[in-house]
Amino acid sequence: MKQWNRRKATVLILVISILFLVTVAAAGSQCSDAARATDFSRKNLLPCLEYPFGTDWMGRDMFARTLKGLSLSILIGVLAAAISAVIALVLGICAATLGRRADGVITWVIDLIMGIPHMLLLILISVAAGRGLKGVIIGVAFTHWTSLARLIRAEVMQLKESPYVKIAGKLGKGKWYVAYRHILPHLLPQFAVGLVLMFPHAILHEASITFLGFGLTSEQPAIGIILSESMKYLVLGKWWLALFPGLALVVTVIMFYLLGENLRRLIDPNSAHE
C-alpha cells in the first residue's frame, strides 16, 4: 500500500524537525566568532541578501547571533530536559515502589513545586546556583520534572497491581525481572514522549529568565539577551532586531512540540491506528 497515512506523515515531521534542530545547533556552534564580531561600518543595516536578519547598532550580524542564540537554547533545553526527565523517572519509580512514606514525601515535594509560581522558583534556583549556563540548566532541570514524575508514578502503581505482574511474582520471578520485562516496556514510550515534550518548555523558560536578566550573562548571544537588548531599539524603528530572533525562537519551540506531539499520537492507543 502506497497510501499516505498518519504514520508516514509523522515520520516526515519527525525527520524535518530533527534535521532543522540539528542544523541550527551545528551551525550556531560554528559562528561563535561571527556572532560577536563588531564592525561599525555596517551598523543598523536593514535585512538584505548579505545579512538576512540585518545588523545591529554595533554592526553585528543578526543572523549569526540568532543562530548562535538558538543553538545555545537548544543545548540548554536538551540538557536540562534530560536531567529533569531522569529526576522524574527516579522519583516517580521511588514513589510507586518504596512504600507509603516515600510516596508521601515525594508527592508532597511535587505538590510543593507545582504550587510555587514557575518563574519565581526558576529564578530563585538559577540565581542560587550561580547564574550563567550552569545556573540556568540547574534551574530549568529542577523545575520541570514534576508532571512527568506524577505520570510515571501513576503508571508504575497501576502496573504493579496488574494481574500479570502479580502472576509473575507467584511464578517466582524477582523484582528485577518484573521491572525489566513487565514495567519497562510500558514506561519507555511514556518517558520518551514526556522527555521530548519537555524540550520546548525548557527552551522557552531559559529564554524567559535570560530576558529578565537572571539567566545567561550579556556576553553570550542568547536569544533572551538579544531580545532584551533589542527592546531598547524597537522604539527607534529597528524592528528587525527583535522580529527575526523572536520568530526563530517560536519556530524552534514549535518544532520540538510537533516532534513530541506526533510521538505521543503514535504511542497513544486512542490514536495509534489513525
Partner 1 sequence: MILQAKNVSFQYKENAPLVLQNISFEVKEGERVGLRGKSGIGKTTLCRLLAGYEKPHSGEVLLDGRPVTEYRGYCPVQMVWQHPEQAVNPRRRMYTVLEEGDGIPQEMTAKLGIEEAWKQRFPAELSGGELQRFCIARALGKRTRILLADEISTMLDLITQSQIWTFLLEEAKRRNLGMVVVSHSDDLLDRICTRIVEIG
Partner 2 sequence: MEKKLPPILEIRGLQISFKQYEKGFSQTELEVIRDLDVCVPAGEIVAVVGSSGSGKSLLAHAVLGILPYNASVKGEILYDGEALTEKRVKRLRGDEIVLVPQSTAYLDPLMKTGVQIRKGKKDAASKERLHQIFREYELKQEVEEQYPFELSGGMTRRIMNATALMGHPRLVIADEPTPGLHISVTRRAMEHFRELADMGAGVLLITHDLELAVETADRIAVFYAGSTLEEVPALAFQSCDTLHHPYSRALWNAMPKHGFQPIPGTQPYAREMPQGCPFGPRCPKYTQECSEKIPWRQTGDGRVRCIHAEEAQ
Closer to partner 1 by Cβ: residue 134 or 181: 181
**From the list partner 1, partner 2, none, which binds 175 (C-beta under 5 to 8 Å, kind-based)?**
none
| Rounded Cα distance, 109 and 130, in Å | 23
Closer to partner 1 by Cβ: residue 2 or 170: 170
Q: What count of other Cβ atoms lies within 10 Å of the Cβ of residue 128? A: 11
Residue 182 interacts with partner 1 (CB under 8 A)?
A: yes
Residue 273 interacts with partner 2 (CB under 8 A)?
A: yes
Residue 176 interacts with partner 1 (CB under 8 A)?
A: no
Looking at residues 219 to 238 of the shown chain, list those that interact with partner 1 (rule: CB under 8 A).
none
Residue 268 interacts with partner 2 (CB under 8 A)?
A: no
Distance of CA 107 to the CA centre of its chain: 23
Residue 271 interacts with partner 2 (CB under 8 A)?
A: yes
Looking at residues 6 to 25 of the shown chain, list those that interact with partner 2 (rule: CB under 8 A).
7-8, 11
Closer to partner 2 by Cβ: residue 10 or 190: 10
Q: Which 3 state secondary structure label does DSSP give 236?
A: coil
Residue 170 interacts with partner 1 (CB under 8 A)?
A: yes
Distance of CA 72 to the CA centre of its chain: 12
Cell 510555587 belongs to residue: 116
Q: Shortest Cβ distance from residue 164 to partner 1 (Å)?
A: 5
Residue 163 interacts with partner 2 (CB under 8 A)?
A: no
**Helix 62-97 to helix 146-161 angle, to the nearest 10 degrees?**
30
Locate 138 and state its grid cell.
540547574
Beta bridge partners of 55: 61
Residue 264 interacts with partner 2 (CB under 8 A)?
A: no
Looking at residues 75 to 104 of the shown chain, list those that interact with partner 2 (rule: CB under 8 A).
none
Closer to partner 1 by Cβ: residue 169 or 213: 169
Closer to partner 1 by Cβ: residue 130 or 185: 185
| Measured CA distances, 262 to 50, 54, 79, 257 (Å) | 36, 35, 21, 8
Q: Which 3 state secondary structure label does DSSP give 90?
A: helix
Q: What count of other Cβ atoms lies within 10 Å of the Cβ of residue 274? A: 12
Return the residue of 11, 19, 167, 236 that touches partner 1, per CB under 8 A. Answer: 167
Q: Shortest Cβ distance from residue 187 to partner 1 (Å)?
A: 10
Q: Shortest Cβ distance from residue 108 to partner 1 (Å)?
A: 23
Indicate left, alpha or beta for 46 from its phi (over 0: left) and psi (-120 to 50: alpha): beta
**Helix 184-212 to helix 118-128 angle, to the nearest 10 degrees?**
80
| Rounded Cα distance, 181 and 6, in Å | 30
Residues binding partner 2 (CB under 8 A): 1, 3, 5, 7-8, 11, 270-274
Contact footprint for partner 1 (CB under 8 A): 162-164, 166-168, 170-173, 181-182, 185-186
